[in-house]
Amino acid sequence: MTNLNQTIHFVNALVAQETANRKLVRYWLYVICLMVFAIVIVGGATRLTDSGLSITEWKPIHGVMPPLNIAEWMEEFEKYKLIPEYTQINEGMSLAQFKKIFWWEWGHRFLGRFIGLVFAIPLFFFWVTGRLESKIKPRLLILLVLGGLQGFIGWWMVSSGLVDRVDVSQYRLAIHLTLACFIFAYALWIARGLAEHTALPVENKALRVLAMLITLFAIFQIFLGGLVAGLHAGLTFNTWPLMDGAIIPQGLNTLSPLWLNWFENLKSVQFNHRIGAYVLTLLVFVQFIYTLKSRVDAPHFNRSIILVLLVIAQAAIGIMTLVMQVPLHLALTHQALAVLFLAASIAHWRGLIGEYPKVTDLKFRR
């Protein structure tokens, strides 16, 4: 009897430790998600204030320190004066004006470096102290690789605007934004899998597929939004619901080859983003109706309601941003809501699937 009690006590202690480990790792991933959310917003402000080309070099280590005296400020300013954005658009800019755009870009890069440290150092600690389940180890390594790749793509994007252009490539900007949101979604997916869900998984395959489609289309819509931002397409055709006086305007396919219109024709790029919003809204409402008819548990139904409310809010802010010709506060709100909607879609989809194996089902590592 004594041995049995000792075994039960030992197993309970292991379960308690594993539960605590899951909670710690989950909260750490939530912090990463919040930081990625923040850098997406800062990145949006950097783009909207045309600050992204103010730092013309990529110095992963030395670049952590901003200019500390007038000589260093002048050195950075002189480098900026050599690129087309200055010579063709901002010639005559004062040092004070340069500092305003410099700080946006420096803050964006600094936050990216800080996220890397906040991810890598705890990952190493959790790994060597045995706090990570074997199932999530490769997923966390994928996140680490994606974070490094994002830093490279950020510079790849900036470098596109330093020689022959006065702006960064819309292709590279859209990829940079989309990858940031994918990292956010993937980190949240892992974290939500470690949470103890209050409702049972749903076996309805159609409901799961709809939830997956909403998430994937939300990421695609963010990519389309990146193209709009990259081309400043939101500053054109500022009417709704009509666009250039029509539901389907003329001039959507003026470039050759045809596919080029999706990426370089301002009218087509904005039109595609509008249509994407309509499709995403339709998917959300179909999901809501199907969830209602399926009589799922309350948490699943509540998350479907949250998606409906967020997509309505996002559509309203998007229309206001367009009609008012992209004021900074509305544009950043629109971007923030896009990430919040993505988070809600991940939570909904993950909830329908369920969590990772319960702690009591794990084969303990110790």
Q: Would you place residue 138 in the very low, low, confident or very high pLDDT band (cuts 50, 70, 90)?
A: very high
Q: Note the pLDDT of residue 239.
A: 96
Q: Would you place residue 6 in the very low, low, confident or very high pLDDT band (cuts 50, 70, 90)?
A: low
- Sequence ranges of the domains in the chain: 1-195, 199-366
- pTM of the predicted model as reported, rounded to 2 decimal places: 0.93
* Per-residue pLDDT tens over the stretch 257-282: 999 999 999 999 999 999 999 999 99
Per cent of the chain over pLDDT 70 is 94
* Per-residue pLDDT tens over the stretch 189-201: 999 999 887 777 8
User: Residue 116's closest CA among 82, 151, 140?
Assistant: 151
Q: Is the pLDDT of residue 151 over 90?
A: yes
Question: Which residues does 249 contact at the CB level (< 8 Å), separation at least 6?
Answer: 237, 243, 267, 271
In angstroms, the CA 73 to CA 53 distance is 15
Compute the C-alpha angle 280/285/288, nearest 5°.
125
E strand or H helix at 214: helix 205-231
Q: What torsion, rounded to 10 degrees, do the Cα atoms 133, 137, 139, 140 define?
A: 110
Helix (H, G, I), strand (E, B) or coil at 238: coil
* Per-residue pLDDT tens over the stretch 219-258: 999 999 999 999 999 999 999 999 999 999 999 999 999 9
* Per-residue pLDDT tens over the stretch 296-348: 888 889 999 999 999 999 999 999 999 999 999 999 999 999 999 999 999 99
